[in-house]
Amino acid sequence: MKIVLGVSGSIAAYKSPDLVRRLRELGHEVRVVMSRGGISFVTPLTLQAVSGYPVVYDLLDPAHEAGMGHIELARWADLILIAPASANLISRLAAGSAEDLLSAIVLATEKPIMLAPGMNRLMWANPFVQRNIAALSAAGIDILTPGSGAQACGEVGLGRMPEPLEIRDHVTAFFQRSATDAAFDSRAEIEVEMVDGADEIDDENSEPQGALIGKRVVITAGPTVEEIDPVRYISNYSSGKMGYALAQVAQRLGAEVTLISGPVAIAPPAGVETIAIKSAEEMMQAVERACQGADLFIAAAAVADYRVADRALEKIKKSDDQDELILKLTKNPDILATIAKGEARPTLCIGFAAETNNIEENAKSKLRRKNVDMICLNDVSGGKVFGAAENEMLLFKRDGSVTPIAKADKAIVAEKIFEEIINLFPAKFWC
């Protein structure tokens, strides 16, 4: 495929030459466009050497066809990928600015756009930056979640540009999704022609075609936060990536999607109603409301099993003569079991299990105890899965069958999970 790689003014630009090499290893053509800030961190000559194309950065370069390089490149590309995307560039894109070649290409293209942010942790957390991220995401731009770790400024936190191999995997997953969507659209056109030409339609024998148009789907994602006092809490390592990927797939399939999410560093998916919660009790209340009349409930969130029985109203002070602090915990509501066993149960209820030992036995037990239709099993021993871009799963169903999903980008895993879910719906569901 043809990729325009934008490089803006972030120290993470030092990774861009490696990203070009990784993309070309898969056979993609890559042309690099730089902002003036990007040139300060890596030279155009370096990127020209690894891409095999001249690097451009002037908005009105007479060397380009008719001096309109932004139009030429916008038409050429199959994907506009900006890595790194600095806070400054993100701000300009959200404002619709076209003051340089890179931002002009974004405004002048109808092609998909993907951003890999890279900035200081405080800049990433800034409400103005997050507002801009949300606006770009709502406009259909694919925003990759930055990584967490040591930064060039010496601080540690969320904001690192994803590594080149991770970005390459996102690009691969994107093109695979595009190919799948194109095949589905083509198949749908053929099916419409067949129906239009048929004298009769046997409703009892009609097969679902994978679309969820007119159906209501509720998905939970991310961790819950159980406060100890105003400044401390109990939580887990869930990033929310799997639940968000499921919400995006459901939305693409035409469903009306409600995503109920704990605190995560991911922009809300475009076209999806997203409800932000903190605690398990808040999630329980939101899920009960959302599941009224829902057709499918997917519990992908990592809900804390326990909360502090008596949350302190003020910060708990450390005492020099107290070596231990004992917290009394009380059980949180079981959201999945409550919905799956309730009177207003959706047609299908799907659960997730993150296990570190006896994984298959625990998944089968959860399937029975919670009265669900399928359990998606994650092996999280050794810190696997949490926060990663990829996942692998075993899907356990009521009929005793087990379907493995090989390790792949979470977006692809989400598509495969929905393939199995669609096959679980009873025939009358599609009538």
291 is catalytic: no
3-state secondary structure of 410: helix
What is the DSSP code string of 75-137?
HH-SEEEEEEE-HHHHHHHHTT--SSHHHHHHHH--S-EEEEE---HHHHH-HHHHHHHHHHH
- On whether both 262 and 391 belong to a single domain, the answer is yes
User: 222: which DSSP letter?
Assistant: S
Residue 335 among known ligand-binding residues = yes
At residue 209, the pLDDT reads: 41
Residues with Cβ within 8 Å of residue 175, at least 6 apart in sequence: 1, 78, 79
pTM: 0.57
* φ and ψ of 175, to 5 deg: -65, -35
3-state secondary structure of 101: helix
At residue 291, the pLDDT reads: 96
At residue 26, the pLDDT reads: 86
Q: How many domains does the chain have?
A: 2
- On whether both 122 and 230 belong to a single domain, the answer is no
Is the residue at 64 inside a domain?
Answer: yes
- On whether both 168 and 222 belong to a single domain, the answer is no
CB 270 within 8 A of CB 137: yes
Is the residue at 80 inside a domain?
Answer: yes
Max alpha carbon distance in the chain (Å)? 86
- On whether both 48 and 146 belong to a single domain, the answer is yes
Out of 176, 192, 207, pick the residue that ends a domain.
176
At residue 69, the pLDDT reads: 53
- On whether both 223 and 150 belong to a single domain, the answer is no
Residue 336 among known ligand-binding residues = yes
At residue 382, the pLDDT reads: 63
Going by C-alpha positions, the residue among 16, 12, 9, 15 that lies closest to residue 40 is 9
- On whether both 357 and 247 belong to a single domain, the answer is yes
Q: What is the dihedral of CA 236, 242, 246, 249, to 10 degrees?
A: 150
User: 294: which DSSP letter?
Assistant: -
- On whether both 108 and 31 belong to a single domain, the answer is yes
Taking CA atoms, 48 is separated from 274, 294, 304, 375, in Å, by 42, 53, 50, 49
3-state secondary structure of 406: strand
Range of the domain at 111: 2-176
Out of 154, 176, 198, pick the residue that ends a domain.
176
CATH of the domain at 383: 3.40.50.10300
Count of CB atoms situated within 10 Å of the CB of 165 = 12
Going by C-alpha positions, the residue among 111, 80, 81 that lies closest to residue 15 is 81
CB 89 within 8 A of CB 102: yes
Residue 396 among known ligand-binding residues = no
- On whether both 13 and 104 belong to a single domain, the answer is yes
- On whether both 399 and 294 belong to a single domain, the answer is yes
Is the residue at 266 inside a domain?
Answer: yes
Residue 111 among known ligand-binding residues = no
- On whether both 271 and 419 belong to a single domain, the answer is yes
CATH of the domain at 153: 3.40.50.1950
Residue 278 among known ligand-binding residues = no
- On whether both 161 and 295 belong to a single domain, the answer is no
- On whether both 168 and 223 belong to a single domain, the answer is no
Is the residue at 24 inside a domain?
Answer: yes
Out of 176, 197, 228, pick the residue that ends a domain.
176
**Residue 173 CB-density burial (10 A; 0-12 exposed, 13-18 middle, 19+ buried):** buried
The segments of the chain whose pLDDT lies below 50 read 65-68, 183-188, 190-192, 194-195, 197-210
Count of CB atoms situated within 10 Å of the CB of 152 = 12
Is the residue at 425 inside a domain?
Answer: yes
Structure tokens at 138: 């709502």
Q: What is the rounded distance in angstroms from the CA atom of residue 223 to the CA atom of residue 236?
A: 6
Q: What is the rounded distance in angstroms from the CA atom of residue 163 to the CA atom of residue 12?
A: 9
Is the residue at 234 inside a domain?
Answer: yes
User: 223: which DSSP letter?
Assistant: B
Going by C-alpha positions, the residue among 41, 46, 52, 56 that lies closest to residue 17 is 46
Is the residue at 321 inside a domain?
Answer: no
Is the residue at 343 inside a domain?
Answer: yes
Residue 62 among known ligand-binding residues = no
CB 1 within 8 A of CB 29: yes
Instruction: Give the HSE-up count for residue 422: Cα atoms under 13 Å, Cβ half-sphere.
Output: 20
3-state secondary structure of 385: coil
3-state secondary structure of 417: helix
Residues with Cβ within 8 Å of residue 413, at least 6 apart in sequence: 242, 245, 390, 391, 392, 393, 405
